[in-house]
Structures are given as structure tokens and as C-alpha cells.
Structure 1
Amino acid sequence: MKLNLIRPLAFFDLETTGINVGSDRIVEIAILKAMPDGTELIKTMRIHPEMPIPLASSLIHGIYDQDIADAPKFKEAATELAEFIGDADLAGYNSNRFDIPVLLEEFLRAGVDFDMSDRKFVDVQNIFHQMEQRTLRAAYKFYCDKDIINAHSAEADITATYQVLLAQLDRYEGADFEDKQGNISQPVKNDVEALHAFTNMNKPVDFAGRMVFNENGEEVFNFGKHKNKTVEQVFDTEPSYYAWMKQGDFPLYTKKKLEEIWTRWNKKKTPKAAAPHASKPAQPATKPAQPASPAAAQPRKPYQQPHKPHHQPKKETPAVSVTSDMLEQLKMKFGK
């Protein structure tokens, strides 16, 4: 089956130093770009993570520190990778919860503006888990009746993911799905828009799942003491929560989306604060200036020491010579 595409769909898989979205780094990325005309482009690249690869991770994906010693750092490869993906929609296995958030963190660290606003996201794992509840290896065996050769190699995994999606489209064409509310639909279609809707049922705001959209399209917190409260409601009652999250150990993309909501909230609050004064005529800050007197219009004279207008300075008394008669009067007065 050929994918029905309006624009390219980029399947990608990451091998990383660990599973912490905010702090772990990419060591390998593989991208299979399915084009609308049916052609496929593949790019695979090892990345220097700028940190040691834990042995536990190396034992899973087989990439050790010496294997990436001469590999480019992500910031050196970021522009090339962004250009290869272009405006393609994104697809992967567990990509909504891990690969996309990790990739966005790396682009933000590298200072590359990888626009996500108009992309669709197809998470093949979500189709599988909602329809069959299995793992990638089991999915490949179940849908394609094959075993993954060199599992946990990024390129092998994305090739298997691509083939699983094609098999899912064949298998579930016209198949009914019943959601938790008892609604029945046929969501698995050869259409990226429909697959995006079906594999993004939690409607994450930031992909790490710290914030999600509720049924009214409002951003709500999905963790902690404010879980299920709208983000703007929390800003109204506890604005310091914004600063706490900005300074906390949260993914950069989570902080970026939080800041966008904060900016929007502040713009809405500013007009409200000014509203009570809007109906009152503006009051002058000071009393209107009085017309200048003719004297005031004259050029100012050089500064002179001010003097009190109602008190004339005392005239100095000439000095008087002291006589013997004056001394005698003083003796009589003071008894000396």
C-alpha cells in the first residue's frame, strides 16, 4: 500500500543517552522521509552527545563513547537535519511522548527554530496500543510476520515502524473502534489528518505531557497540585507557579509553551486593569500653567543670593572707643 500524502511524512527514531527528556541527549538519529510521489529518502547520523553515554544505554543500542568520538555535535548538525525534514509531518513509534520532545529540546539548545505549529504527528505506537496492546517487536511480528534484524538500531527500528504502519492501514481499513465513551468510529485511514487525530487523543500542549488541552481547547496542567486546572486559572490565583516552573527541571519546550501562555495571559490582564478608568476623562497630572507675567518673559538674570523681601539688612554701627567712664559704669553695674 502506498501512503496517501499531501506533503512528506518523516518517520524518525532516536537513540539517546537515557530516557530523561530534559537532560538526556541524542547519540543517533535516523529519518525516513516518505514523499507524496511514493519515493523514500533516508538520512542516518551519529551525534556526539557532549556527555558520557551510560553503560546501561550502550548495552541497549550498542553505541559507545568511542563510536561517537568524532561525530558532530547536535548544534553542528541541527540546520542540516531541520532542512532535511523541511515542512514534513512527523511519525514514529512512541514519538509523541519521547522522540519529538527530545528532538525539540536539541533544536532549542542549538538555537534552531523548528516550527511545530502546522505539523501533524502520527504515533504508530498509539495505533498499535489502542488496537492490539503490544510492543514494536511484537507489532512487527504481528503485522508483518517478520523479526526485526538488528533491533534497537535506529535505522532498523524506523524501517520496521514504517512497514508496520503500512500493514496497519491494510489490516484496519474499515475496522470499527470503540472509545471509552462508547463511541464507535473507523479511525485508521490512509490519511495523515485522521491518523494525527487518532494518535493524539491526549492532546498534549508540550509533548512531554506536563500540559494538555481539555475538551474546551484550554491548556490545563497534567501533573502536581494543580492537575486538571487551566494554566490561566493557576496564573490568576498563584502567578508564582510560573516562575517555579521556569526555574525548575522541566523540558525547554515545556517552558517555551508555558511562556507563550503567560504572555497571552498578561496581554489579557492589562486591559482589565485599566478598564475602571476608561470612562473617566483624563485628569491633568498638574494644575494648568498660569499665563506668564511680563516679568517672567524677560531673560533670566545671573543667579544672585536670595534675600528676604520684608526684612531690611541692619546697618553696621561704627566702632566706639572705650573710655574710662565706660569702664567705671561697668564696674558699678556688675559689682566688680
Structure 2
Amino acid sequence: MSALQLTRPLAFIDLETTGTNVATDRIIEFAIIKVMPDRSVQTKVKRINPGIPIPPASTAIHGISDEDVKDQPLFKQVSNELKQFMEHCDIAGYNSNRFDIPMLVEEFLRAGQTFEVDSRRFIDVQKIFHLMEKRTLGAAYKFYCDKELVNAHSAEADAMATFEILEAQLTRYDALLKPDVDALAAFTKEDDYVDFARRIIMQNGVELFNFGKYKGRPVRDVLKVEPQYYDWMMKADFPLNTKQKLTEIYHSMMLKKS
């Protein structure tokens, strides 16, 4: 059996939200299973008042209603606590690279804080599963752990199942997967992107728009000939993380001019 090798804590995260739009939806519950290098486990589970109504369709999935969160704190009120709990942690999750992490970063930005990502390594257990077997979380749990996923869409149950699945994957694919975070993060890494919403990607060291009429065009070239495109994006309904990265590129261009 290949046990997961850790040099620093690895936080398994799962979020329940009002929906799937990173720019407009909000977190209503988070669970973090923090696995320490000595294999001890720390858990933090908390419900959040999103400040907006929870759509019935979302409640039907995770079972959390407006009534359930009306007396809970806003994300901003727990952001410092959450940030401290995840300090110096690498992060793992199920579809986390495309959803949980972008959503978490967006909530921190709304709270007026940044969440450090450059120094962290990210492992997406769904990516390993899809590359190897191509199934869903419940099927992954049954396939790898031979267990039924009870309380699916409970953040804590899903996060713990994700941890167990990764351990089982390391055993099943011990000839292919190295049980260390660097190797797993590299294995699940996707194409280079600048923002989590992947509106801007990186190719050969050049930032390119990845949507709309300028898809495939260098961001800097577009902003040089059509600076109003920057203003449009800043006013439009893009995630704050996308606007933050676009602003960094824009400011870098302005500094070179001066």
C-alpha cells in the first residue's frame, strides 16, 4: 500500500453553495479535513449565511434552506478563522480546481482579503478519477473504497470520502502514482490559466483571452488597440478573480509605458 506522503498539511475541502456561478453564487457550508504530516486529522465544518436567497433547486441537492442559515455568520465574519485554519496547507478536493478553489478565492476577495495560491499545490481527486476510470463521486467511493456514500452533498461527508478515495487511488495505482503532493499536483494539473474562471489562459508565457470575440488573442495586444475592452470587463459580470488578474496585466502595461 502506498500511503500518502506529506511534508506539510493537506486540506481536503468541500463546499455547498447557492449555485455554480462563481461570480454570483455564494458559499453556504464548508468542510475542511486537514490531514497533518503525522497523519493526525483536524476538521472544521461551518455553515454560512450567504446574504442571498438559496434557490429551491440548490436546496433540493444539498438540503440546506434559507431557514437553516438565517442565524449563521456571513463569510466575511469567519474569513480570518478559515484563512488561519488553512495556513500553510496544500489543498485537495473533488472537482476543486474548477469549482471549490475558485469559489473560495472569490469569497475571500469579496471579504476584502486575498487567499494565497501561488505557494500552494492543488490536487483534484476528480481529475485522477476521470483520467483513470471516469465516474462520479458516489461511484468513485464505491469503486475505490467499496462503500456507499451516505449523506452525499453533505460537505463533511463528501470531503471525508474524497480523502478516502485518494488513499485508495494511491494503493490501486501505486505503479503509476507517486504518493507525494508534488507528483499528485502535477498529475492533476490542467492547462496553464491566469484566472480560476479560465477567461485568460497562458501559452508560451503570453496571456491570451479564452472567450468571446478576442479568444486566442494576446490580452496586452487587445488592450493596446481597444482599451475600452478593459472597462467593459470590469463593469461586466465576471468573477472578481478574473478582474483582479486583468487589472494586474493592465497595470503592468501602464508601468511599462511610464
TM interval, shorter chain, is over 0.9
Cα pair 2:3 2:170 within 8 Å, conserved: no
Map of 1:192 onto structure 2: 181
Q: Paired residue for 2:240?
A: 252
* Structure 1 unaligned regions, length at least 5: 176-187, 271-336
Amino acid at match of 1:241: Y
Of 196, 207, 210, the residue aligned with 2:199 is 210
Is the 2:19–2:25 contact (alpha carbons within 8 Å) kept by the matching residues of 1? Answer: yes
Conservation of the 8 A alpha-carbon contact between 2:3 and 2:171? no
Q: 1:38 offset after TM fit, Å? A: 1.1
Q: CA deviation at 1:86?
A: 0.7
CA contact (8 A) 2:127 2:188 kept: yes
Give, in angstroms, the shift of residue 74 of structure 1: 0.5
Kept in 1, the 8 Å contact 2:233–2:243? The answer is: yes
Q: How many residues align?
A: 257
What's the CA shift string for 1:22-50, capped at 9, x where partnerless?
01111100001111111111100000011
- Matched-pair contact (CA < 8 Å) for 2:170–2:178: yes
Map Cα deviations across residues 101-128 of structure 1 (whole Å, 9 max, x no partner). 1111111111122222211111111111
Classify the secondary structure of the residue corresponding to 2:116: coil
Q: Larger relative CO (CA 8 A, sep 6+): 1 or 2?
A: 2
Verify the 8 A CA contact 2:105 2:114 in the aligned structure 1. no
Alignment of 1:1-336 (within 5 A): 1-175=2-176, 188-214=177-203, 216-270=204-258
Amino acid at match of 1:109: R
Q: Judge which range, 239-248 or 45-54, deviates more.
A: 239-248
Shift of 1:245: 0.9
Q: C-alpha distance in 2, partners of 1:20/1:111? A: 20
Distance, in Å, in 2 between the alignment partners of 1:229 and 1:173 is 41
CA–CA distance in structure 2, aligned partners of residues 190 and 264 of structure 1: 39
Shift of 1:237: 2.6
TM-score, normalised to structure 2, is 0.96
Q: Distance in 1 between matches of 2:128 and 2:194?
A: 20
- State the Cα deviation string for residues 276-310 of structure 1 (Å, max 9, x = none): xxxxxxxxxxxxxxxxxxxxxxxxxxxxxxxxxxx
Tell me, yes or no, if the aligned pair for 1:3 and 1:38 is still in contact at 8 Å.
no
Identity fraction in percent: 58
Mapped partners of 1:269, 1:37: distance in 2: 51
Q: Please state how far the C-alpha of 1:80 moved relative to its aligned partner.
A: 0.4
| Code of the aligned partner of 1:33 | K
Cα distance in 2 for residues equivalent to 1:16 and 1:54: 10
1:166-219: CA deviation from partner (whole Å, max 9, x where unpaired): 1111111223xxxxxxxxxxxx321211222221222221111111221x1322
Letter in 1 for 2:228: S
Task: In structure 2, list runs of 5 or more residues that go unmatched.
Answer: none
CA distance in 2, matches of 1:137, 1:104: 26
